[in-house]
Structure 1
Amino acid sequence: MATEQKHSTYLSEAESRLRQLSIEKLRLAVAFLTYLQETEEKEVTEKVLLNIPDFAQFFREIEQNEDKLENTASNQIASDEEVWQAYLAVEKKWEEVFRRLANS
């Protein structure tokens, strides 16, 4: 209850101060608030993902597979079957990541 009351107090104070700003300063304040919100969401997302067992390992493996594909010489052409199998392997890894995310 005390936290909720503090939250309400801060919101009221912020609204009062925002109403007193010029349009230019208000635009700046909104940009800063957007930055803070996005940063917080990113931090929360990273914490959730890193709490998934083996997520970091799966992510590294996916990156390594992508690097291998990017570093392939341009004159080397893989068969359709090889490309399809590589795609399926990456998809399988992502499915596992998403499954673990859903179960966490």
Structure 2
Amino acid sequence: MYALLQSPAPAGPPGWTQFVFIGGMALMFYFLLIRPQSKARKEMEARLSKLKAGDEVVLTSGLYATIDRVEDKHIWVKLGGSVVKARRAAVASLASEPETKN
């Protein structure tokens, strides 16, 4: 008789709402972090593929240099009076591009 007088336990939200919440978080993570980063990486790869002799570039070390010649994965840059071999990935930007503030 006591069991009949007790009120039923309160029901929680349906189980599918957790999946909707997790799915929404995954979409936010993709659009706020993954997509912009991959877009910037593709733009940088496109810029690096267009490098040619005579371009003035800024290296990741902050040095300004002029490209002497371009190879598959390396570039030869003029720094002052000397020519130095560097990786293509060492190019941060073209010297003519405006600097971006991060």
Question: Shorter-normalised TM-score: what interval?
Answer: 0.3 to 0.5
User: Which has more radius of gyration?
Assistant: 2
TM-score (norm 2): 0.33
More helix by share: 1
Larger RCO, structures 1/2 (Cα 8 Å, 6+ apart) = 1
TM-score (norm 1): 0.32
